[in-house]
Structure 1
Amino acid sequence: MSDFRNYQTRSVPAGTRADAGIDEGLRAYMLKVYNLMGLGLLITGIAAVGTVMLATTNNPAAAVATLPNGDMLTSFGYAIFASPLRWVVMLAPLAAVFFLSFRVQSMSVSAAQTTFWVYAGLVGLSLSSIFLVYTSASISQTFFATAAAFGALSLYGYTTKRDLTAMGSFLIMGVFGILIAMVINIFLQSSALSFAISAIGVLVFAGLTAYDTQKIKEMYYENDDTLVAGRKAIMGALTLYLDFINMFMFLLQFMGDRR
């Protein structure tokens, strides 16, 4: 038996054992990224549903305002959807994501993770208004369609041998183009431009999902210490979270049934 174990050790090349160790570490790293992202999406969903439940009511006596679609708002709902406070609700996630992006290198893993959870909650608060515009059934259908597309695209990015760097640079330029077009359309209010923005947005963030997955995979380094690896996982989760949310929102404009 001892001779057999010695033979097994000698017969496995050192490079093979090292590659197996890297693969195992990479799988654990990517699993952590996806788990963090998934928990972020869960927090966003709970925050969005909880917010809209607190913001609307079926009791006319408890309502302080009624929307054109018939939804009745509580005082909390009026504050976040109709009062000037709505701008704070809209801009708070942007402030949180910039804070995390610029400060993550000086933060502990627990602090960075907590900031990510807070950001995900703020996004949920901001996105709760979609329940006032689209039916719950269409929101659910769009979410699952996005999840299926995201899973397939991320798997492609993880497994492909093709270098997606050139495509990623083009897609990032596309994001800036979308932002400029959205600002212009605030003044034009063009339905045709809005449709084009949504179509391009879905394609851009679909491509970015594959590109970012490959980039996150390539960021893994076996000898990273716990702090660096933890920060990388959180930023990777944030990147994929943003890809998912943006693809969902653009897709919702196609698949969503307005109330």
Structure 2
Amino acid sequence: MNYNDYELQDLTADQQLSMSAAFPVLMRKVYVWMTLALVITGFTSYGVATSPGILQAIYGNQILFWGLIIAEFALVIGVSAAINKLSLTTATLMFILYSVINGALLSCIFLLYTSSSIATVFFITAGTFATMALIGYTTKTDLTSIGKYLFMALIGLIIATLVNVFIKSSGFTLILSYIGVLIFVGLTAYDSQKIKQMLLQAPDAGEGAQKVALLGALTLYLDFINLFLYMLRIFGRRD
């Protein structure tokens, strides 16, 4: 059961004290882990992009390329589905490994777009993300129903993107990019509220609660990366 602002008023003083002690620590961990993962992804991406040998090994070898993509999916599914069975250390290492692999695969953006436009879009994304995360964190409106529609829209976006792989329409790609931005702007607010509600229920900052925080960090990391990529397709310069 999720606590809202009114239900929190009915908790005992001891329960509120326990929450007030654990909650800031856990929320801080969410954003520290997310930021760390973004830094690792950024450095890995740039490092691979400036290393012709590694770049050729990844994009010149279809087995390695698809192996990394499969590994990405396996890591996300593994962390999400087996979080209760994994130790905090193992789950954290899997998250770090995922951010490294994602960075390696995203190295191609440095070949497609100028460095200045990548930096500009990154800061635009960071500002948009921070604003929506703050809205999701502070709003008293329940975003659950909105979240359900956003997930349905996300499924539609994925299907439309797969279709566009075959029709290869640049106009359709641009339309999908705008839709993608709207979806992940909304998901950022929704996920921020959901993470806050889950961590408010944590009795302490033990390993179990920290694993929930880690999952929250992974969720927001994915929101940020996807928002960045869709914005890059809209605002990124290729010359």
**TM superposition score normalised by structure 1:** 0.83
Q: Which of 148, 159, 176 is the matching residue for 1:197?
A: 176
For structure 1, the residue ranges without an aligned partner over 5 or more in a row are: 1-13, 56-73
Residue 197 of structure 1 aligns to a residue whose secondary structure is: helix
| Number of the residue aligned with 1:10 | none
State the number of aligned residues: 227
Which of the numbers 133, 138, 147 marks the counterpart of 1:154?
133
User: Which of 84, 96, 115 is equivalent to 1:136?
Assistant: 115
Which of 187, 205, 221 is the aligned partner of 1:241?
Answer: 221
Moved >2 Å (runs of 4+): 14-25, 85-92
Partner AA of 1:33 in structure 2: V
Label 1:246 to 1:197 Cα distance change in 2 as closer, same or farther (>3 A): same
Aligned residue number for residue 206 of structure 1: 185
Q: Deviations over 1:171-218 (max 9, x none)?
A: 000110010001100111111211111000000000000000000011
Considering only aligned residues, what root-mean-square deviation do their CA atoms show, in Å?
Answer: 1.7
Task: Give distance in 1, aligned partners of 2:203 and 2:68.
Answer: 41
Map Cα deviations across residues 98-138 of structure 1 (whole Å, 9 max, x no partner): 22122211000011011100001010011011101000111
Q: Residue in 2 aligned with 1:228?
A: 208
Q: Within 5 A, what are the aligned runs for 1:30-45?
A: 30-45=27-42
- Partner-residue secondary structure (3-state), 2:83: helix
The Cα shift of 1:24 comes to 4.0
Amino acid at match of 1:83: N
Report the counterpart of residue 255 of structure 1 in structure 2. Answer: 235
1:127 is matched by which residue type in structure 2?
Answer: L
Deviation sequence 1:52-108 (CA, Å, 0-9, x none)? 1112xxxxxxxxxxxxxxxxxx3x322212331322233332222122122211000
Match of 2:6 in 1: none
Indicate the structure whose relative CO is greater, using CA pairs within 8 Å and at least 6 residues apart. 2
Between stretches 77-86 and 120-129, larger displacement belongs to 77-86
The match for 1:54 is 51
SS of residue matched to 1:105: coil
Range moving further from structure 2, 190-199 or 96-105: 96-105
**Which is worse superposed, 26-35 or 240-249?**
26-35
Correspondence 1:79 to 2:57: yes
SS of structure 1 residue aligned to 2:208: helix
Percent identity (aligned): 41
CA distance in 1, matches of 2:119, 2:70: 25
Deviates more, 1:15-24 or 1:187-196: 15-24
Residues 121 and 236 in structure 2, CA contact (< 8 A), matched pair in contact too:
yes
Q: 2:165 matched to which residue of 1?
A: 186
- In structure 2, the residue matched to 1:90 is 69
1:106 lines up with 2:70 in the alignment: no
| Corresponding position of 2:3 | none
By how many angstroms is 1:224 displaced? 4.8
Selected match of 1:145 from 112, 117, 124: 124
Measured in 2, the distance between the counterparts of 1:222 and 1:97 equals: 23
Match status 1:164 vs 2:161: no
CA–CA separation in structure 2 for the residues paired with 1:90 and 1:174: 23
Q: Pick from 26, 33, 56: which aligns with 1:29?
A: 26
SS of equivalent residue, structure 1 residue 162: coil
Change (3 A) 1:132 1:173: same
